[in-house]
Copies of this chain bind each other. A is one copy, B any other.
Amino acid sequence: MKELKGAAIIGQSGGPSSVINASAYGAIKAGLESKNITRVLGALNGIRGVLDDNLIDMGKEDPAELALMKYTPSSALGSCRYKLADPDVDDSDYKRILEIFKKYDVRYFFYNGGNDSMDTCNKISKFMMKNGYECRVMGIPKTIDNDLAGTDHCPGFASAAKYIATATMEIFRDANVYDSGMVTVLEIMGRNAGWLTAAASLANLKGQGPDFIYLPEVDFDIDAFLEKAVEVYNKKKKVFIAVSEGIHDKDGKLIAEYGSDTAQTKDSFGHAQLGGVGAYLAGLLKAKTGSKTRSVEFSLLQRCAAHCASQTDIEESFSAGQAAVENAVNGITDKMVGFERVMEDGKYSCRIKLFDLNVVANAEKKVPMDWITETQDGVNEKFAEYALPLIQGQTQLTTEDGLPRFVNLKKVKA
């Protein structure tokens, strides 16, 4: 292995998660401790920070304060949703990145984000190789959606899942407190993959979960749904439902669109901005049953409720960041750090595994069809077997005045 000395840039991108900073901190800490990495630079607002030469010197931060990143939600370096062009069409951004890399003698680039970020990472890696600029590029995954290909699971998923399962149990108890009728619909994030919505099923292990769970992996039939839900309501005077924001009919039309005649806005990656399916279904059930109804959106908290994060997720995310740096220093490039599940004597452990950026970028992993019940309104025990080890352990978040003590970076310009 050829030793490579130079600066490292770490950037964060995409939607926040409770543990994205645990990964970034793992990489920053390992970078600051590495004898080959001369300087650790943070790119503010992801790749935009590189393009705009908006970099901070992580070595200037107080180490104890920096360590709080491990328990702080939502990209501490800031995020972006900027999508790099296809370099064959327009390579001006890439040239600018190369210019910045040369300016700071950047030989290590770590990018911390979801599918789109792995795509960014992949494009930069290939461009640098093609142009003969030696720079080791590693992707550090993060996505509550758990939809990255290859890796057993994604940093961030477990904390969101733990929050969703916990909050589902609490809302279940709330919904069952009166002897009068109650229809409850939980709307959970997940455009195409139902991992997060499936997490509501963990509440069922405690007998405090949904009657029905609908994932975007299967077509949603409104009439069949109403019939089933009303039947349960008539029996118990209660029905409790969890739906993914991305459920759709057999023609692919989003159920959210049924309830809304407002045009769907799209973000810069072309993703539709969803919402409202829970309220729509609750409204239909209100009309059918006359019951009091509650539609609850877990909204932003499912991706930023660090106070309910999984310590397993935090430690794994931290180790993913560390492993990215250690592997890069050891000569590896053009990979994403991921996880391999190891089960020994029924005991879970997690091993770092590297994946080709080519394979990961823009692929999407869904909940396997054989984990979904035959009636397509729930998940079976395979999901719990998969998810339970990941949500173990309460966050060791520091508190101050009864509130979380999150990181406060000085952000000294590089």
A173: B residues at CB distance < 8 A: 16, 72-74, 304, 406
Across the interface, A404 reaches (CB within 8 A) one of B81, B169, B178, namely B169
Cβ B305 vs Cβ A167 within 8 A:
yes
**Distance to closest chain B CB from A404 (angstroms):** 6
A125 within 8 A of B: no
Question: By the criterion CB–CB under 8 Å, are A80 and B297 in contact?
Answer: no
How far in angstroms is the closest Cβ of chain B from A261?
15
CB distance from A168 to the nearest CB of B (A): 10
Contacts of A174 in B (CB 8 A): 16, 73-74, 300, 303-304
Instruction: List A366-406 residues whose CB lies under 8 Å from chain B.
Output: 388, 391-394, 399-406
Cβ of A282 to closest chain B Cβ, rounded Å: 12
Provide the bound-state CA to CA distance between A203 and B404, in Å. 10
Do A402 and B408 touch across chains, with their CB atoms under 8 A apart? no
Interface string of A98-113 (1 = CB under 8 A from B): 0000000000000000
Q: Knowing A391-B402, A402-B392, A402-B393 are in contact, say whether A307-B170 is a contact too (CB < 8 A).
A: yes
User: Which interface class (under 10, 10 to 19, 20 to 34, 35 or more) fits A?
Assistant: 35 or more
Which among A171, A174, A308 has the greatest number of chain B C-beta atoms within 10 A? Answer: A174
Q: A90 near B: Cβ within 8 Å?
A: no
Quick one: which of B44, B296, B312 contacts A300, CB cutoff 8 A?
Answer: B296
Whether A205 lies near B401 (C-beta < 8 A) is yes
Closest residue to A400 on the B side, CB-wise?
Answer: B206
Q: Please indicate the chain B residues that have their CB under 8 angstroms from the CB of A296 in the complex.
A: 299-301
CB-CB under 8 A from A176, the residues of chain B are 74
Let me know if B178 and A78 touch, CB within 8 A. yes
Contact with B along A156-185 (1 / 0, CB 8 A): 000000100111011101111111100000
Would you call B202 and A403 a contact (CB within 8 A)? yes
**Within 8 Å of chain B (Cβ to Cβ): is A45?**
yes
B178 touches A79 (CB 8 A): yes
Residues of chain B lying within 8 A (CB to CB) of residue A171: 300-301, 304
Tell which of A48, A301, A394 has the most Cβ of chain B within 10 Å: A301
Question: Hey, which chain B residues are within 8 Å of A179, CB to CB?
Answer: 44-45, 48, 78, 80
* Bitwise interface map of A from 47 to 77 toward B, beta carbon under 8 Å scored 1, else 0: 0100000000000000000000000111100
Nearest CB to that of A392 among chain B residues?
B402
A305-B170, A403-B206 known; A178 and B80 CB under 8 Å?
A: yes
A310 within 8 A of B: yes
Tell me whether A294 is interfacial, beta carbon within 8 Å. Answer: yes
A306 within 8 A of partner (CB): yes
With A75-B177, A80-B178, A81-B178 known as contacts, the answer to whether A169 contacts B406 (CB < 8 A) is yes
Q: Does the CB pair B402–A310 fall under 8 Å?
A: yes
CB of A146 closer than 8 Å to a CB of B: no
CA distance A229 to B404 in the complex (A): 27
On chain B, the residues within 8 Å of A203 by CB distance are 403
Q: How far is the CA of A66 from the CA of B205 in the complex (A)?
A: 20
- Return the CB mask of A258-291 against B: 1 if under 8 Å, else 0: 0000000000000000000000000000000000
Q: Which 4 A-B pairs have the closest CB atoms?
A: A74-B173, A391-B402, A174-B304, A392-B402
List, sorted by A's number, 5 A–B pairs whose CB atoms are closer than 8 Å: A78-B178, A166-B403, A206-B400, A294-B299, A393-B402
Given A170-B306, A205-B403, A206-B404, 16 more A-B residue pairs with CB atoms under 8 Å apart are: A16-B177, A75-B177, A78-B177, A79-B177, A80-B179, A167-B301, A169-B404, A170-B304, A170-B305, A170-B307, A202-B401, A205-B401, A206-B405, A296-B299, A297-B297, A312-B402
